[in-house]
């Protein structure tokens, strides 16, 4: 339903908040954070949990839709449709004809995609990209951003920022 999608969209916004949330006032300006969600966040900040969600930990529908939503290319609407078709496991999805090529790849590489990348590997990739970038476009500055830039020990993906001081290289 609409409320579920609102929460689904708000979760990444909250997860990426740069500091510990100690008051809902910190979040009011963020997109997708309405009155209902603000009340729920207040309960979490105050008690450390949300009583309304405790049953979701054991609810098959919620767990299954959440699992399907972790597959690259499958959003909440598709996850719900797959559940309604009777699918309950990732193994079930392997024979689903309606999956797109991208979703099939997401399913095939599900475990690989979820595996976090150690910081030292990201550093090695950044150095390789810098060397190749210099060959392709001399003077290019290539750096890894995201969780790597923030000093995290592992990264979920590789965020790459490419710039060039000439101000022209981006023009085709």
| Residues taking part in catalysis | 40
Q: Which string of b and e fits 37-56 if b means at least 16 CB within 10 Å?
A: beebbeeeeeeeeeeeeeee
By C-alpha distance, which of 96, 107, 105, 108 is closest to 68? 107
Q: Which string of b and e fits 68-91 if b means at least 16 CB within 10 Å?
A: bbebeebebebbbebbeeebeeee
E strand spans, 57-121 = 117-118
Residue carrying the six token digits 């750096």: 143
């Amino acid at each position: 339903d609409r409320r579920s999608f609102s929460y689904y969209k708000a979760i990444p916004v909250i997860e990426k908040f740069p500091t510990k949330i100690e008051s809902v006032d910190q979040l009011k300006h963020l997109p997708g954070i309405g009155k209902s969600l603000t009340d729920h966040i207040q309960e979490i900040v105050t008690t450390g949990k949300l009583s309304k969600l405790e049953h979701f930990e054991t609810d098959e529908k919620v767990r299954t839709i959440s699992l399907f939503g972790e597959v690259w290319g499958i959003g909440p609407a598709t996850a719900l449709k797959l559940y309604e078709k009777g699918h309950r496991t990732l193994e079930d999805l392997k024979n689903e004809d309606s999956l797109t090529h991208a979703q099939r790849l997401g399913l095939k590489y599900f475990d690989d995609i979820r595996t976090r990348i150690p910081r030292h590997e990201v550093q090695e990739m950044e150095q390789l990209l810098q060397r190749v970038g210099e060959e392709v476009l001399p003077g290019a500055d290539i750096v890894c951003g995201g969780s790597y830039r923030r000093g995290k020990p592992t990264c979920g993906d590789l965020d790459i920022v490419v710039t060039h001081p000439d101000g022209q290289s981006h023009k085709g």
